[in-house]
Amino acid sequence: MLKEEVYKYGENMKIKTLYSCDYFTGEFSDVNRKEIGKIVLQNYFSGNNMDPDPSSIRNEDIRIPFDDNIRDLASKLANIWASAAPTGKKLELAYRNDPNEAFWAVVHAKGESTNLHSHENQQNYQSGPHVSAAFWVQVPENSGNFVFRYKPNPYIVANEVILSKPGHFLLFDSAMEHFVTKNCSDGHRIVISMNFNIVES
């Protein structure tokens, strides 16, 4: 049963379980997607990539400023998680020196996609990140979907498709593998991604 407080932060909020892992989906109607999208595309067309190496998975990640819109989005996501989390726990953005370790934009032009990966620190899971998030800013029709890859048993690999919709968000365990299908539209698909650590409140 969801706590009533959840609905103060997300509309149509749902918690689902995928192979023993919970993930949260819902919608924020009061996030300034137009302004966020404008800033993301400015940085995208300026070549402000996290990693200039085209072979790096972080090459598709775009640096964006930690402005009021992004700060507000991070706060909303943290509040959603806290409303259903164990007492005494909260989320903080996960970074050491560079804030863009914890938040960035992903822009997919026509024909682009994201390969299978996770956000887990495979050397030391305890150090984080523990929880990751996606917020869809701009989603043209036929521009692809977010897909979880999981193993319900050692012999089967399965996919769980999360339909991408503007204004919707997703919160999930950073260890969960996922990919994004190809953008078959003529427009740009824009997503804000974030990583959080679970800490004592």
Output the pTM of the full model. 0.88
Q: How far apart are CA 192 and CA 103, in angstroms?
A: 7
Q: How far apart are CA 129 and CA 174, in angstroms?
A: 6
- pLDDT > 90: percent of the chain: 61
Q: What are the pLDDT digits (tens) for 122-166?
A: 555 566 689 999 999 999 999 999 999 988 888 889 999 999 999
CA angle 168, 177, 3 (to 5 degrees): 45
Tokens of 101: 């370790």
Three-state secondary structure call for residue 190: strand
Three-state secondary structure call for residue 133: strand
Output 186 or 20, whichever has higher pLDDT.
186
Q: What is the pLDDT of residue 7?
A: 38
The CATH number that domain 6-200 falls under is 2.60.120.620
Q: What is the pLDDT of residue 75?
A: 96
Q: Which amino acid is at 27?
A: E
Question: What residue spans define the domains of the chain?
Answer: 6-200
Tokens of 134: 């996606």
* Residue 133 Ramachandran class (φ > 0 left, ψ -120 to 50 alpha, else beta): beta
Rg (CA), the chain: 16
* Residue 175 Ramachandran class (φ > 0 left, ψ -120 to 50 alpha, else beta): alpha
| Mean pLDDT within 55-67 | 88
